[in-house]
Structure 1
Amino acid sequence: MAAGSADSPATLYGPASLTFGAVAVIAAVFAGFVGMAIPLLFGSLAVTFALLGLARRLNRGQCVTGLALGALGVLYPVFLVTVLGV
């Protein structure tokens, strides 16, 4: 690899966090059908990859979007359980 090359596995933190965040939000909407573990797992993975990507300063826009979607995917089912007592 050449010095300063952007070809590393760390460049995939942004797209991975965005994908996991989107899946977490979609699974959170259908939490009654797919269960609560799926949005919690994918949301926490999205937050983790987003924070790693932001620390490396790679694909910031995707990392911020993945962080927001992942946090929403984690907090939405938790909010439903605490408020509705489902």
Structure 2
Amino acid sequence: MSTGSADSPATLYGPASLVLGTVALIAAVFAGFLGIAIPLLFGSLAVTFALLGLVRKLNRGQCAIGLATGSLSVLYPIFLTAALSV
């Protein structure tokens, strides 16, 4: 009796975090035109998926890049807003 496919939805944590982190970082660069909602939302989703992927040890390289780009895209608008409000 076969056990079925070895693929699971958890294998998509790495690519999802990589794509969301990249889109969030690009949106963070253009935060003056787009606003800060898109980088914050996509960046936090990228960080969440990256951490879930790192815990399950699936696609660790993609998860690490997604974690880095996602965290940069979350922190950049926050620091930019704090620097400009002083």
Normalising by structure 1, we get a TM-score of: 0.93
Return 5+ residue gaps in structure 2 as ranges. none
Residues 13-64 of structure 1 deviation map (CA, whole Å, 9 limit, x = unaligned): 0000000000110000000111110000000000000000001100000000
Amino acid at match of 1:32: G
Q: Which residue of 2 aligns with 1:2?
A: 3
Q: Which residue of 1 aligns with 2:45?
A: 45
2:51 matches 1:56: no
Q: Larger C-alpha radius of gyration, 1 or 2?
A: 2
Deviation at 1:2, TM superposition (A): 3.3
Q: Which residue of 1 aligns with 2:67?
A: 67
- In structure 1, C-alpha distance between the alignment counterparts of 2:16 and 2:3, rounded to whole Å: 24
Percent identity of paired positions between Structure 1 and Structure 2: 73
Aligned-CA RMSD value? 1.7
SS at match of 1:42: helix
Amino acid at match of 1:62: Q
Return 5+ residue gaps in structure 1 as ranges. none
Normalising by structure 2, we get a TM-score of: 0.93
Amino acid at match of 1:2: T
- In structure 2, C-alpha distance between the alignment counterparts of 1:2 and 1:66, rounded to whole Å: 31
Residue 41 and residue 13 in structure 1: after superposition, are their counterparts in 2 closer, same or farther (change >3 A)? same
Count, aligned residues = 85
- In structure 2, C-alpha distance between the alignment counterparts of 1:24 and 1:57, rounded to whole Å: 23
